[in-house]
């Protein structure tokens, strides 16, 4: 749907000498109350028959404080599983509303837990508290090149990522979420789906600029993860 404001711009600068990447995230437009309602109505129109709804990024300025509550309620009505790949206040709102899955990184999870930083052990403890409080059914903690941690009410699993020569990390998190959803849509158990998500996130780092993952790369990396071979070309 269209809004009055302009799409925000993000700039990513790669330092060829050091291999470091710098991201400049500019502020986006302010959403009006009418646009907020129009979006919810649009979602209500397209949700019937859908299995998953993914909300990612950050909540725009002007977003109603009860937006996540309304979105979660819509998802429940249409029997959709809501996945939130958000940060900051958006992530907090998502866990207050109750969603199917959240995918924070360690820093985002630490902020949600009001901690300066988290280790893998304390990250699992924080994820479990969210689950027990009804904030999410599943928590996937993204750790970049180190892979991810899957936490459920009765499971914790560390999933290692294959070692690759990264070109760009832009879009790796989005690719990871897409891989998880793809796996679940194809009937995979959550552990296998998250493994495929890790493969897709890693595959995205092989593409230059804003290029996302290529399925051939993701499938190859997934086989490395399943066989326990972390090293690949």
107-164 confidence digits (pLDDT tens): 999 999 999 999 999 999 999 999 999 999 999 999 988 999 999 999 999 999 988 9
**3-class state of residue 172 by DSSP:** helix
* Phi/psi at 212 (5° precision): -90, -170
pTM above the 0.85 mark?
yes
Distance CA(75)–CA(59), nearest Å, equals 18
With contact defined as beta carbons under 8 Å apart, do 161 and 200 qualify? no
* Phi/psi at 66 (5° precision): -100, 15
Q: What percent of the chain has pLDDT over 70?
A: 98
With contact defined as beta carbons under 8 Å apart, do 188 and 151 qualify? no
In terms of residues, how long is the chain?
Answer: 233
Residues with catalytic roles: 174
Q: Among candidates 113, 107, 80, 79, which has minimal Cα distance to 95? A: 113
Q: Among candidates 109, 172, 159, 107, which has minimal Cα distance to 135? A: 109
Per-residue pLDDT of the chain (233 residues), as tens digits, is 788 888 888 887 877 788 787 888 888 889 999 998 999 999 999 999 999 999 998 888 888 889 999 999 999 999 999 999 998 899 999 999 999 999 999 999 999 999 999 999 999 999 999 999 999 999 999 998 899 999 999 999 999 998 898 888 888 899 999 999 999 999 999 999 999 999 999 999 998 777 788 999 999 999 999 887 655 55
- Three-class SS of 68-123: HHHHHHHHHHCCCEEEEEECHHHHHHHHHHCEEEECCEHHHHHHHCCCCCCCHHHH
Q: Kindly give, in sequence order, each residue whose CB lies less than 8 Å from that of residue 120, ignoring residues fewer than 6 positions away.
A: 143, 149, 158
* Phi/psi at 169 (5° precision): -95, 0
Q: Among candidates 116, 66, 110, which has minimal Cα distance to 88? A: 110
With contact defined as beta carbons under 8 Å apart, do 202 and 164 qualify? yes
Strand partners, 91: none
């Amino acid at each position: 749907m269209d809004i009055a404001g302009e799409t925000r711009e993000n700039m990513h600068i790669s330092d060829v000498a050091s291999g470091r990447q710098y991201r400049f995230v500019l502020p986006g437009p302010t959403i009006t109350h009418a646009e907020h309602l129009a979006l919810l109505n649009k979602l209500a129109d397209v949700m019937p028959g859908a299995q998953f709804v993914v909300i990612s990024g950050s909540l725009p300025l002007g977003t109603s404080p009860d937006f996540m509550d309304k979105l979660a309620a819509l998802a429940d009505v249409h029997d959709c599983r809501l996945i939130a790949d958000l940060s900051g206040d958006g992530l907090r709102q998502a866990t207050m509303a109750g969603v199917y899955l959240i995918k924070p990184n360690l820093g985002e999870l630490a902020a949600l837990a009001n901690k300066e930083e988290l280790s893998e052990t304390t990250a699992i403890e924080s994820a479990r508290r969210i689950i027990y409080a009804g904030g999410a059914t599943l928590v996937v903690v993204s750790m970049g090149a180190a892979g991810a941690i899957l936490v459920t009410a009765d499971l914790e699993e560390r999933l290692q990522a294959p070692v690759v020569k990264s070109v760009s990390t832009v879009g790796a998190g989005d690719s990871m979420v897409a891989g998880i959803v793809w796996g679940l849509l194809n009937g995979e158990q959550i552990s296998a789906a998250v493994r495929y998500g890790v493969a897709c996130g890693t595959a995205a780092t092989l593409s230059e600029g804003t290029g996302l993952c290529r399925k051939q790369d993701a499938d190859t990396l997934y086989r490395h993860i399943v066989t326990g071979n972390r090293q690949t070309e």
